[in-house]
């Protein structure tokens, strides 16, 4: 995973409510990437999986009760 893709995923994940385990994984992955400049295949796979799950769910921080973006209606 290149630096741009990594930063894009991590930035996007900050919009979603994460479990404590997910938060810890993302934080440790950020530290690892900063130190090594690369992730291993397992780290990439887990990070991408968390991102896909959150994106599919559609719930973002800032909406009442983390309401789904898919179900929200624009005024």
Q: Which residues of 31-47 are buried (b: 16+ CB within 10 A; e: fewer)?
A: eebeeeeebeeebbeeb
What's the pLDDT tens digit per position in 14-67? 999 999 999 999 999 999 999 999 999 999 999 999 999 998 887 776 655 444
Q: Compute CA 33 distance to the chain's CA centroid, rounded to the nearest angstrom.
A: 15
pLDDT value of residue 74: 44
In the predicted model, is pLDDT for residue 2 greater than 70? Answer: yes
Mean per-residue pLDDT, 6-14: 94
pLDDT value of residue 1: 87
pTM: 0.75
Please answer whether residues 66 and 17 qualify as being in contact, where contact means their C-beta atoms are separated by less than 8 angstroms.
yes
pLDDT value of residue 58: 79
């Amino acid at each position: 995973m290149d630096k741009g893709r990594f930063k894009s995923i991590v930035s996007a994940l900050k919009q979603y409510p994460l479990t404590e385990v997910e938060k810890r994984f993302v934080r440790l992955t950020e530290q690892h990437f900063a130190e090594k400049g690369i992730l291993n295949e397992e780290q990439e796979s887990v990070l991408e999986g968390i991102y896909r799950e959150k994106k599919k769910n559609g719930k973002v921080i800032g909406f009442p009760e983390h309401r789904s973006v898919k179900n929200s209606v624009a005024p």
